[in-house]
Amino acid sequence: MPLTPGTRLGPYEILAPVGTGGMGEVYRARDTRLGRDVAVKILSTHLSSDPDLKWRFEREARAVSLLTHPNICCLYDIGSHDGIDFIVMEYLEGETLADRLATGLLPLQQVLKIGVEIADALDKAHRQGIIHRDFKSSNIMLPKSGAKLMDFGLAKLATATISAVPEASSQTSCLATMSVTAARAWRPSH
């Protein structure tokens, strides 16, 4: 059931819906303690009764909480209120890369800037043993501050696997992934 403006989840007051995903809804909310806007992602009530899906939701929070990087959406809190499980994240103004690409191709300099920022974010996650596993243009926000990687809901913690990968291989893998994304976003005009 969607939340209405004014609904309170502990100290978070819902302001407006932002979007929906496979596991729940995202809302813009006000953190009444700190006086700032945040994004609140709630686990759909029909999913919260499934222990595996609830665990996956909590895993996203744990994975993101391990990451501090300027190009990764920050996690602030996790909680439950009146049977609603939620995570609280940085609220980002802007559009997703998918939305931006729907309006046309990007200039090469912008593609390169986004590519470098997201490759650096993925590299940080990989070094922390976190594999995103849902890397797509709709999980990249483009606020004025620079590209931000979001939605670690399918993330896999693989510390043992990642620590065995040499440093250069991890960077090469991230840059190769971003090169494919950049090639799809930019085509030279003839």
Beta bridge partners of 13: 8, 30
Indicate the length of the chain as a whole number: 190
CA dist 94 and 183 (Å) reads 23
Q: Which of 31, 50, 134, 151 is catalytic?
A: 134
Structure tokens belonging to residue 67: 């990451």
CA dist 70 and 80 (Å) reads 27
Name the 3-class secondary structure at 177: helix
Q: What is the DSSP letter of 155?
A: -
Phi, psi of 184 (to 5 degrees): -75, -30
134 catalytic per annotation: yes
CA dist 87 and 89 (Å) reads 7
Whether the CB-CB separation of 84 and 9 falls below 8 Å is answered with yes
CA dist 97 and 182 (Å) reads 11
Catalytic residues: 134
